[in-house]
Amino acid sequence: MDTLHIELSQNLKEKPDVNNLGFGKFFSDHMLTMDYSLDAGWHDLKIIPYGPISLDPSAMVLHYGQEVFEGMKAYRTSSGEIVLFRPDMNLKRLNKSCERLSIPQVDESILLQGLSKLIRIDESWIPSGEENALYIRPFIIATEPCLGVRASHTYKLIVILSPVGSYYPEGIHPVSIYVEQRYVRAFRGGTGAAKTSSNYAASIKAQEEAKTSGYSQVLWLDGVESKYVEEVGSMNVFFKVNGEVITPALSGSILAGVTRDSVIALLQSWGVHVTERKISMEELAEAHRQGLLEEAFGTGTAAVISPIGSMRWGEAEMTIAGGHTGELARKLFDTITGIQRGQQEDPFGWIYSIR
């Protein structure tokens, strides 16, 4: 990678208190950037001091939201190694999102080498602490100054690093969720399967209303009939019903989560029956009435595993697993974080070591 230019910061920042990181509030000393133009393609890969970027007020991303992003985490294992969890999947998904948003494809191996170098340079920002990690946020924005609605001719890719704690203040403790029937997050043919800012912008209003009513998360239903379960908050969702684990199939309107895929592989390796299919709220409510809804949990890079202790659907309030963290959610959390931190065997070869 002889084209990577590095400019080190002369002004290193003070590190935050690892006991009080929250999520995405602090940023490391450097960032990776790369530019795209029609003539040169992706070019000018560099690591520079973290700081504000200059954008033309007419930059297309500011008006029409042509943007994609990813979320990954770096960990320091007990033997001192720095590792990533399945980065190939994130980078593939970044390109799938690019494809949906008409953004030019990025060379995944160049990006992986570039962000690995960035993490090496800022490795002192990997926070110690059980639930802490260095969150990696790659994103691409449309930078062409133009108000026409079309694909931009120029883009900027940036990777920033943030030492984080648990995404939800509840951590591995159960969250209460509100089943959203008024707003939708995504619909068939839309951008629900892409990691793009507009999906998240569309979710904020419902999230705020749920919070006001005392719920910490929103469970999204399908955008056509408001009948079938899609995602919860910014995570994929799983239910254990009468011994079987069910998760919504990748219909095109939900995100193909890396943690989701890992959970399915782990459950199958443990001999648990997992099904990817449509699940209606009616089916879940009926299972709950019969005492068969044993567990529910969300999965995501930021949140890892987030157990669901209760669900509000219309007038029905359903308590799940007695409002406690279910056995399966706990085992999945321990296994995934154990693999990520090098405390457990990695039978699937998910760990990528940064040299």
User: Where along the sequence are the contacts to ligand COI (CB under 6 A)?
Assistant: 71, 200, 234, 300-302
The string of DSSP codes covering 246-261 is EE----SSS---HHHH
Query: Which residues fall within 8 angstroms of residue 118, CB to CB, at 6 or more apart?
Result: 30, 31, 32, 47, 159, 161
Nearer to ligand COI, 200 or 270 (CB): 200
The residue written with tokens 């969720």 in the block is 177
Least Å distance, CB 25 to ligand COI, is: 12
Q: Is 2 exposed, middle or buried (0-12, 13-18, 19+ CB in 10 A)?
A: exposed
Nearer to ligand COI, 223 or 300 (CB): 300
Q: Is 280 exposed, middle or buried (0-12, 13-18, 19+ CB in 10 A)?
A: middle
Least Å distance, CB 347 to ligand COI, is: 23
Least Å distance, CB 91 to ligand COI, is: 14
Query: Which residues fall within 8 angstroms of residue 332, CB to CB, at 6 or more apart?
Result: 263, 266, 267, 297, 299, 305
Alpha-carbon torsion (100, 106, 109, 111), positive or negative: negative
Least Å distance, CB 157 to ligand COI, is: 16
Nearer to ligand COI, 90 or 152 (CB): 90
Nearer to ligand COI, 72 or 106 (CB): 72
Nearer to ligand COI, 94 or 320 (CB): 94
Least Å distance, CB 303 to ligand COI, is: 6
Nearer to ligand COI, 300 or 307 (CB): 300
Least Å distance, CB 175 to ligand COI, is: 14
140 with 103: CB under 8 angstroms? yes
**333 in helix, strand or coil?**
helix
